[in-house]
Amino acid sequence: MRIRALIILASLFVAAPLFANGTKIYSSYETVRRALLENSVADVQKSSKTLASAARSEKQEPIAVQAEALAKAADIAAARRVFAALSNEVIKFRAAGRPSVAYCSMEKKSWLQPAGTPISNPYLDGGMRACGQFVKDEAAQQHRH
């Protein structure tokens, strides 16, 4: 459990400069995404609460509402379903030059992750983590869920 917490904390330090722009939303979102990659419902719930707080402090109510819904997810499958709605709200919030939009054609869902990093799909397990591709903002809108 401590190792998982250290990994998530380390990913926050890595993600912060990649998502730097004066908002805590992107780094908090990345921590949620990383928790999904670890299949940790407890970490998803905890990091989602942090994201909800950051979104509220920045007056981003749609993101806060979805983050709170994610914090209530009872299992990893439910968390992944809610993460899609959260991702849509964060993508709307995202301005040019921010994190990249990735899309999984198998799951028909999008997410954000740091630009210049290999695809790491939070919706799929094991060997399918690399499933997905980076898309332009216009393409992400065409793939609406």
Domain positions in the chain are 2-142
The phi, psi pair for 74, rounded to 5°, reads: -85, -20
Predicted TM-score (pTM) of this structure: 0.64
Residues 6+ apart with CB under 8 A from 99: 18, 19, 26, 30, 112, 113, 114, 115
What is the maximum alpha-carbon separation in the chain? 41
Up-side HSE of residue 20: CA atoms within 13 Å toward CB? 5
CA pair distance 145, 140, nearest whole angstrom: 10
| Selected residue with higher pLDDT from 55 and 137 | 55
pLDDT, position 1: 52
At residue 14, the pLDDT reads 44
Asked whether the predicted pLDDT for residue 96 surpasses 60, the reply is: no
Instruction: Report the pLDDT value the prediction gives residue 140, as an integer from 0 to 100.
Output: 52
